Structure 1
Amino acid sequence: MTSQEPNFAFFDIRTNDGVAVLTIDRPPVNALSRELYESLDKVIDHIEATPDIRVVVFACKPDARAWIGGGDLKEFLTLTSETRRSRHEYVEAITDRFYRLSCPTIAAVTKPAPGGGMVFASFCDLIVAADTAFFSMPEVDRSLTGGAGAYFSRLNMPVSFIREMILTGRRLSAAELKEVGFINYVLPEAEVMGKAMELAELIASKSSAAVRAIKRGANKIDEIGWNEGRAYAHEISASELVDGPDYKESITAFLERRKPQFNR
């Protein structure tokens, strides 16, 4: 069932059977302005306050020139050292909230994703990209560090590849990034949303409690490493999942060879 969603500046969100399609809409290239970040903050509030949203597919409009075109360079021209620092702190707070969304996120990248677009894709749990899309970290050409590759180190991408990417700022094809594990699927543009929705619907069919616990555990592993992270994830299982209704239902359903009926 499709639910009625509130209106947000620069974003459209539509939810059906647990899957929310979040479409960014700031023509022509979906540049990341301060106002857009403020709106995204409200979108995140809405997603977290809506348990029926179990997966988010992040997309752009078909006529967009970029999936996300990076930071708004016109705003950049007005920045001083102090206002740049303030902007960075604000932006990082919002992007961290996006990364830590309790439900999984899937990037449906049908258009180019330079700079901030590539960073946002990296914060999604899965990436489905068009074979015509390109990615880049062009901050070296804007006299900025762009985080010096930190966003990609957590993904265990090869250090030499990250260094080349951030020092040259060159365009990277979706196929090239799939080879280093950044992208899950590379498809013709017309097939990207279909695949993203297929994955989203599969995840949405699982126990929401388990999916959210797994994402929280996986994010924690990003922060503290696999050894301590696995202990954290196992503790979530013991303290939150085992006594919940989905635990016994999922095992019973498997033994009885039927589909589980989860407590959404």
Structure 2
Amino acid sequence: MTENPIKTRTIGKVLEVTLDRPKANAIDLATSRIMGQVFAGFRDDPDLRVAILTGAGDKFFCPGWDLKAAADGDAVDGDYGVGGFGGLQELPDLNKVVIAAVNGIACGGGLELMLSCDLIMAADHASFALPEIRSGTIADAASLKLPKRIPYHVAMDLLLTGRWFDVQEAQQLGVVNYVYPADQLLEKAHELAAELAAGPSLVQAAIKEVVREAENMKFQDALDKITGSVFPTIKTLYSSDDQLEGARAFAEKRDPVWKGE
């Protein structure tokens, strides 16, 4: 395994996570476990609010599973670590915002990792594909997520053909939020991250928990859990000083000061 395949740096309340495994930033079991530790640490650190996930270089964000490592004995059903593949897809109780800054090719498991983030920014040369079908396997996470995010027939086209699509199509489909020139991507990601990090963290946490937990619930059941403060983040929010701060700031004609408490 490449030494230090995951690079991190902290800027204020923002954690930048860079996948750095030459030549293509593919993920093996050991790297996935490290990523899980990194994102679990981010989740549990009260001083961190937002994370940015990107790849090293300007060609690959991530192509997904490291087939060379698999050929050397990494089992596809092996131990991916606390967060599942790439540290994000199955990480429990992650109620903080994660931004993907897609600096190049995102295909297979790399596209699925991208879909695990909350907001997606991409360089103008980025490209995407789910080529698993051509290898006789299934893009499992994408098969679950993509038909819920874009029109069913479009998702099925991408899943069944494994074709490549460019960043312009990705944005038109709503898969990507923002597109920037490659040399501006990380700067723009940090601008957005700083804006979010300055926002009401308790509300952000509540939004993430509600969206995640209510995905397969009936509308009224989910709404009852919100109004009844059954969700832990909602209970915390509704008993916090921050819950009143927005109204006070409006009445006093000032910017709100969020304390996260």
**TM-score grouping bracket, smaller chain normalisation:** 0.7 to 0.9
Give me the identity figure in percent: 27
Counterparts of 1:9 and 1:137, CA distance in 2: 27
Aligned twin of 1:205: 198
Match of 1:33 among 28, 34, 49: 28
Note if 1:55 corresponds to 2:47: no
Q: Pick from 8, 15, 20: which aligns with 1:13?
A: 8
2:237 to 237, 241, 245: 241
SS of residue paired to 2:174:
coil
For 2:143, the equivalent position in structure 1 comes to 149
CA contact (8 A) 1:30 1:64 kept: no
Q: Does 1:70 align with 2:64?
A: yes
Is this contact kept in 1: 2:50–2:196, CA < 8 A?
Answer: yes
Task: Give the Cα separation in 1 of the matches to 2:146 and 2:217.
Answer: 16
Say if 1:31 and 1:72, in contact at 8 Å, map to a contact too.
Answer: yes
CA RMSD of aligned residues (A): 2.5
Going from structure 1 to structure 2, the CA distance change for 1:113 and 1:183 (only over 3 Å counts) comes to: same
Q: Any conservation in 2 of the 1:105–1:124 contact (CA below 8 Å)?
A: yes
CA 1:44–1:177 in 2, change beyond 3 Å: closer, same or farther? same
3-state DSSP of counterpart to 1:196: helix
1:22 counterpart (17, 23, 40): 17
Structure 1 runs not aligned, ≥5 long: 1-7
**Conserved 8 A contact 2:147-2:156:** no
- Does 1:263 find its partner at 2:256? no
Which is richer in helix? 1
Q: Distance in 1 between matches of 2:86 and 2:163?
A: 28
Question: 1:188 is matched by which residue type in structure 2?
Answer: P
> Which secondary structure does the structure 1 equivalent of 2:90 belong to?
helix
Aligned match of 1:44 in 39, 44, 47?
Answer: 39
In the alignment, structure 1 residue 173 sits paired with structure 2 residue 169:
no
CA distance in 2, matches of 1:108, 1:243: 35
Of 250, 253, 261, 2:246 maps to: 250
Letter in 1 for 2:259: N
| Per-residue CA distance 1:108-151 (angstroms, 9 max, x = gap) | 11111011111011111100111210011010122111117222
Alpha-carbon distance in 1 for matches of 2:215, 2:96: 16
1:215 pairs with 2:211: no
What are the Cα deviations for residues 203-252 of structure 1, in whole angstroms up to 9, with x where unaligned?
Answer: 11112111111111111233435543344344347622122011122221
> Does the Cα contact within 8 Å between 2:129 and 2:162 map onto a contact in 1?
yes
Partners of 2:86 and 2:220 in 1: CA distance: 27
Is contact 1:110-1:192 (8 Å) kept?
yes
* Counterpart residue identity of residue 242, structure 1: Y
Aligned counterpart in structure 2 of residue 194 of structure 1, from 160, 181, 187: 187
Bigger drift between 228-237 and 124-133 goes to: 228-237
Residue equivalent to 2:154: 161
**AA at the equivalent of 1:132:** H
Kept after mapping to 1: 8 A contact 2:36/2:81: no
Report how far residue 182 of structure 1 moved.
1.0
Q: Paired residues, what number?
A: 253
1:145-172 Cα shifts (integer Å, max 9, x gaps): 11172221232x1111111111111111
The Cα shift of 1:94 comes to 4.2
Inter-partner Cα distance in structure 2 for 1:238 and 1:46: 22
| In 2: Cα distance, 1:243 partner to 1:188 partner | 43
Shift of 1:106: 0.6
Superposition deviation, residue 36 in structure 1: 0.5
